[in-house]
Amino acid sequence: MAADVLEHGRLVGSRCPACEEVRFPRQRWCACGGVPERLLLDGRGHVLVTSTVRKGSRIFPTPYQVAQVALVEGPVLYGRSLDELDVDDEVVLVGAGDDGRTVAFRRQT
Amino acid sequence: VSSDCFVTGVGVLPFQLDGDRSFEDMALDAARLALADAGVDLGDVTALVVGSRYAHPGAGQRVTALVGGLRVPVYNIENACSSGTTAFALASRLVAADPDEIVLVIGADETATVGRGGVTLPDADYAGAAGVTHPAAYAMKTSRYCATFGYRVDDIAAVAVKNRAHAIENPNAAFRTAVTLDEVAASPVVAEPLTLLHCTANANGAAAAVLAAAPGGASCAPPVRVAAAEHAAGPLADRFASATEAVACRAFRRAGCGPDEIDVAEVYDAFTIAEVAAYEDLGFCERGEGARHVSQMRLGERLPVNVSGGALGRGHPMGATGLAQVAEVVTQLRGAAGPRQVHGARRGLVHTLGGNLRVLTSNVASVVILEAT
């Protein structure tokens, strides 16, 4: 499973001390030669785009919404929407699912 | 010093939506077609490269195990949808490195059998685990593209209409009926705004090619020269450009030509937006202009793209797709494509993407440039 992606609801990314690039998922080595350091990301960001999945998922019953989100630190990632989201909504990442390890987004309150 | 590399033979089996043929059977049949086309005996083959997404480990050995006495090096390639094209690129490098090589490349998959109801994503992919399906990722790309550059989803759907119309003339295509924009829009929604007819279909199939440094015997079909076979992998930042852009630059440089000198192209179209993005990434038009150029990519127009029907018309046995693309361009450059012939085609391009969902665009891109001799 995607075990190392979330830790206690925080997203596990990395920052390279040499080139300062913040990335998700966590990088173990950087092409610039640096060794990125583990970094728990803030988890806030804004919605770039959404889609409602109506067919073809073996993970969740359909329909459900997914979103692509740009985090304030820079990385762009996908996740499931827990609220009905629109483009430009300010969201925060949460760990969903039984094990709290599924990437999902909620609207910031 | 590297030698020239020629495609001396190609073969494609009809792609089937509900096929029950095994990977090994299909691979052997495609190999027979390609070797016969090249006028090469199986015993002359010096290496085998096999591209497949879903074959069991040891794909190539599963094929050679059925061929008595064949003792050649086997290279197994898995690079998602680009497995077949990657296998082809590797084969061309084997020949370039050693002119005595006669390399058989096979691409095959039982995707229809594996992926009934949708190909699943690996659990290790965080996006897959979050419910982001392949169509959903391309659906989001479609929405962003339309919002950024001012298009309607119908402008993107025109790709499906074009490629399905092309597929009518391809006896190996799984879908040989036309669809209209209204039919695309009215088909079931898979992931908004993409409907079923924006998406390719899982299929079973195989295709193969023979590569060699010498053009082959006089009795054979005209050989086609491999001017470039470039490939890149690696995650990319999320933007509209994809790995394709950098790989295409390298391929054009190596081939000594530019995008305006391509006469026919087979580009990645597992989802309609992928083809539109490819026009831009390959330099066939400016960024943001792709959706305006779909009508110019029909047979008989400026630059026919996916005259075979593409993955939207052929179906998509992932490992076979790249070699079916190569076979189409080779057939076009020989002038042997019959009713779907692009008149006067001298130079053609193959483009295939493959990748999981960690990034929006792709983590594998292959670009092959072929020239008539």
| Alpha carbon distance B31, B29 (integer Å) | 5
**Backbone angle region of B66, left / alpha / beta, with phi > 0 → left and psi within -120 to 50 → alpha:** alpha
* Between B217 and B185, the higher pLDDT residue: B185
Out of A54, A68, A80, closest to residue B131 by CB = A80
Considering the entire predicted model, what is its pTM? 0.95
Pick from A52, A55, A87: CB nearest B188: A55
pLDDT category, B243, cuts 50, 70, 90?
confident
* pLDDT, chain B, mean: 91
Whether residue B5 lies in the annotated active site: no
Residue B111 distance to chain A (closest CA, Å): 15
Contacts of A103 in chain B (CB under 8 A): 126-127, 129-130
- B191 with A5: Cβ contact below 8 A: no
Q: What string of DSSP letters covers A17-78?
A: TTT--EESSPPSS-TTS--PEEEEE--EEEEEEEEEE-S--SSSPSSEEEEEEEETTS-EEE
pLDDT 10s digits, B324-372: 999 999 999 999 999 999 999 999 999 998 875 544 444 788 999 999 9
Which of B5, B81, B146, B199 is an active site residue?
Answer: B81
pLDDT at B364: 84
Reported ipTM: the value is 0.93
B136-186: per-residue pLDDT in tens? 989 999 999 999 999 999 999 999 999 999 999 999 999 999 999 999 999
Instruction: Determine, for residues B358 and A55 on separate chains, whether the beta-carbon distance falls below 8 Å.
Output: no
CA distance A6 to chain B (A): 9
Does any CB of chain A come closer than 8 Å to the CB of residue B123?
yes
Q: What is the DSSP string of B246-263?
A: HHHHHHHHHHT--GGG--
pLDDT in tens, A41-70: 999 999 999 999 999 888 899 999 999 999
How many angstroms away from the CA of A54 is the closest CA of chain B? 5
Give the pLDDT confidence of B306-320 residue by residue, as tens digits. Answer: 999 999 999 999 999
Of all residues in chain A, the one with the smallest CA distance to B143 is A49
